[in-house]
Amino acid sequence: MGKPVKIAINGLGRIGRTILRQVLETPGGGGVEIVHLNDIAAPVLCAYLLKFDSVFGVMARDVRAEGGCLLIDDLSIPFSHSPDLATVDLRGVDVLLECTGKAKTPDVAKRGLDRGARSVLVSGPSPAADVTVVIGANDGALGAARIVSNASCTTNALAPLLRLVDDAWGLERAHMTTIHCYTGSQPTIDAPRGDFARSRAAALSMVPTTTSAERQLDLVVPDLAARISGAAVRVPTASVSAVDLVAQVRDAPDGDPVRAVHDLVAGSEVVGITDFPNVSSDLRGRPESLVIAASETRMIGQGQVRIFGWYDNEWGFSARMLDMARRMAARHDPMIC
């Protein structure tokens, strides 16, 4: 067993807390050691929200804030309360997970580097990142970049699927619709937002809108992006989303479409498959970037394929954040597991 990756988390929102929860629930932390937490919310509130989670349930551990630390059973993690990391010492941190959603400019994105972290991984699209990398789509783009964007949850679900389809069948063109659970960007009651439709109460209506994944494809799979269009429908569920892809391919597989889609994803590191007639809540807590619903696959006419897949937009995305952090840290130290 190699050395653990030393990680700090800036921002304990949905993704920050889910990452922390995954590390705590994985034997040995999955080769990760959380060495620092930072959030602008009161530590006692962060402890409460980690312990009691409306999506993932109550954590079966004692969680409390005390003496500048978050205490989880007998584990003590230093906790700071800084809006800009200016007073936070990050020396010795392999990767800072920037989970505030505010790393849109170079000065904000590089704050972790300025405070001593070796690298910064942003939990979402960031124009200030050196590179945007999605595991299973453009892994080789990581290189020596010190500020990396992990793209969006939908990009992580879609881009690896597009790469698989293109490699196996030759992707000519496609349209993707993401059926996405509501998020914190939507109001719980009708309230003004920049987008008229997104100004409506999130839990009461299906809301047609755009998806950042369509724009992110230019960064992640530029060789395929011009062939893809995309849209989104936000739906009144709290977790787990879906991708519905209809593609025209050059070499459509013959025979049973279920067998064909099993063959398509065989060996993929991040795309899974299910043969059960699942509904969205069945996929809560799945770590894959996308889980194909095999029985929903259709081969239509001359080379048209329909593929439907589920993704836990919080748990699966957080799993990729940890995977990417391990890869980033391993560049600095070959002894890291």
Task: Give catalytic residue positions.
Answer: 153
Q: What does residue 15 show for φ and ψ, rounded to 5 degrees?
A: -75, -45
C-beta neighbour count of 62 within 10 angstroms: 11
DSSP lists the bridge partners of residue 249 as 171
In contact, 102 and 79? CB cutoff 8 Å? no
**DSSP-assigned letter for residue 129:** S
One-character DSSP codes across 43-69: HHHHHHHHHEETTTEE-SS-EEEETTE
**DSSP-assigned letter for residue 148:** E
